[in-house]
């Protein structure tokens, strides 16, 4: 039986990252979306219901799963209300604003036997899957330095006011993009022992962090995470160095571009691959050559959600990892505020 699913907002996130995958996956049925003004989802997906409010969606008994993809500051309250209504929950990153909120929601979900997970789709980027494959193969030897970055050139302030207003949810590049990088580091290396970070407000008129640099310290390993809104010349997405070699990858996974600008339809099979000219370079004792990129597919996230709800399998993104991501984000802000190295 398909999992009837509701989306809490049909903006960019709903249109690009959730509705296309839910509607294309045979294990799900896109049932409703909250739209206070435009009723676009009824045009984009005939038969899907547009509702006026989150409360109305919560009252729909047929809905089993809700995607909370609203502004960051609303995540805790909306997740709480969805869990209280007996719904499984997917929440956009960043999960919540504080570790205490994360602990509360996780306890609620576990007591009720409900799924609660964060949409960390970047685990299924082709470049990250390739990095993970190379590290696991041992071709680099012991990894000693890992650099990961999201670089943008967007000097103008965002038109959406909430994206530029500082506040408890700390909407900025750290929570928006570095949260992905932190999650990827956790998957590869676990929690660091220590962390040092610095943030910046570099664009004219910026009131939020639009530059973020965090150094995660492990025994014999340095992990450097960086994001900026003022980088015009492309920098490596990944640079990984080990005792036996290096891997460097430019460019970003093409899925978001295809979904957002070319209105591509995702598939449960391989649908998004890179050309050889876009592959990264692996340089080891065996030689230097382009390394074929693993095909990425965000559909794997929804494959796992189906398996959790219908087959009782474990979630790919665990509660421990969700908590660790928030702990690292909190430490980044604390380190920037105090200038101190933070220990875990």
Is residue 112 domain-shared with residue 230, that is, in the same domain? no
Residue with tokens 């997906």: 45
Q: Structurally, how many domains does the chain consist of?
A: 2
State whether 112 and 126 are in the same domain.
no
What crossing angle do the helices spanning 126-137 and 179-189 adopt, rounded to 10°? 20
**Which pLDDT tens digit goes with each residue over 61-89?**
999 999 999 988 899 999 999 999 999 99
Helix-strand-coil percent breakdown of the chain, rounded to 5?
40, 25, 40
Query: Residues 159, 207: one domain?
Result: yes
Instruction: Answer yes or no: do 110 and 130 share one domain.
Output: no
Which of residues 167 and 213 earns the better pLDDT score?
Answer: 213
Question: Does residue 313 sit within a domain?
Answer: no
Domain with 10 in it:
3-119
Say if 157 falls within a structural domain: yes
The answer as to whether 316 is a domain residue is no
Residues 55 and 126 in one domain: no
**Cβ(254)–Cβ(86) under 8 Å?**
no
φ/ψ of residue 227, rounded to 5: -145, 145
Residue 157 sits in the same domain as residue 215 = yes
Any domain includes 308: no
Is residue 320 domain-resident?
no
CATH number at residue 33: 3.40.50.720
pTM as predicted: 0.94
The answer as to whether 314 is a domain residue is no
In this prediction, residue 170 has a pLDDT band, given cuts at 50, 70 and 90, of: low
Examine the domain organization and report whether 37 and 129 are in the same domain: no
Is residue 113 domain-shared with residue 156, that is, in the same domain? no
Instruction: Examine the domain organization and report whether 33 and 140 are in the same domain.
Output: no
**What pLDDT is stored for residue 145 in this prediction?**
98
Residues 128 and 105 in one domain: no
Q: Are 36 and 183 contained in the same domain?
A: no
CA atoms of 37 and 224, how far apart (whole Å): 42
SS (H, E, C) 189-211: HCCCCEEEEEEECCCCCCCCCCE
pLDDT tens digits along 293-335: 999 999 999 999 999 999 999 999 999 999 999 999 999 999 9
> What are the φ and ψ backbone dihedral angles of 342, each rounded to 5 degrees?
-100, 130
**Residue 10 sits in the same domain as residue 58:** yes
């Amino acid at each position: 039986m398909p999992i009837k699913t509701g989306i809490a907002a049909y903006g960019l996130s709903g249109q690009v990252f959730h509705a296309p995958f839910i509607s294309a996956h045979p294990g799900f049925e896109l049932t409703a979306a909250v739209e206070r003004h435009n009723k676009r989802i009824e045009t984009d997906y005939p038969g899907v219901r547009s509702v006026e409010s989150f409360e109305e969606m919560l009252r729909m008994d047929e809905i089993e799963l809700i995607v909370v993809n609203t502004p960051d500051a609303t995540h805790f309250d909306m997740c709480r209300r969805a869990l209280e209504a007996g719904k499984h929950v997917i929440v956009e990153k960043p999960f919540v604003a504080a570790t205490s909120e994360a602990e509360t929601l996780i306890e609620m979900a576990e007591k009720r036997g409900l799924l609660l997970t964060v949409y960390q789709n970047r685990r299924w980027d082709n470049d990250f899957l390739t990095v993970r494959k190379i590290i696991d193969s041992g071709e680099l030897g012991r990894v000693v330095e890992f650099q990961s970055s999201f670089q943008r050139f967007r000097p103008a302030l965002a038109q959406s006011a909430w994206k530029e207003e500082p506040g408890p949810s700390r909407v900025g590049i750290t929570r928006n993009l570095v949260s992905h990088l932190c999650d990827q580091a956790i998957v590869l290396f676990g929690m660091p022992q220590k962390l040092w970070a610095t943030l910046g407000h570099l664009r004219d008129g910026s009131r939020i962090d639009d530059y973020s640099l965090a150094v995660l310290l492990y025994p014999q390993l340095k992990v450097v995470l960086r994001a900026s809104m003022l980088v015009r010349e492309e920098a490596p997405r990944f640079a990984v160095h080990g005792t036996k070699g290096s891997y460097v990858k430019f460019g970003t996974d093409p899925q978001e571009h295809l979904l957002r600008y070319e209105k591509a339809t995702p598939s449960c099979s391989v649908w998004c691959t890179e050309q050889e000219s876009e592959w990264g370079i692996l340089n080891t004792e065996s030689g230097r050559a382009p390394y074929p990129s693993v095909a990425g597919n965000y559909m794997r996230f929804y494959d796992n959600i189906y398996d959790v709800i219908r087959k009782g399998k474990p979630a790919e993104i665990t509660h421990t990892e969700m908590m660790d991501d928030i702990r690292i984000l909190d430490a980044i802000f604390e380190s920037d505020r105090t200038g101190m190295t933070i220990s875990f």
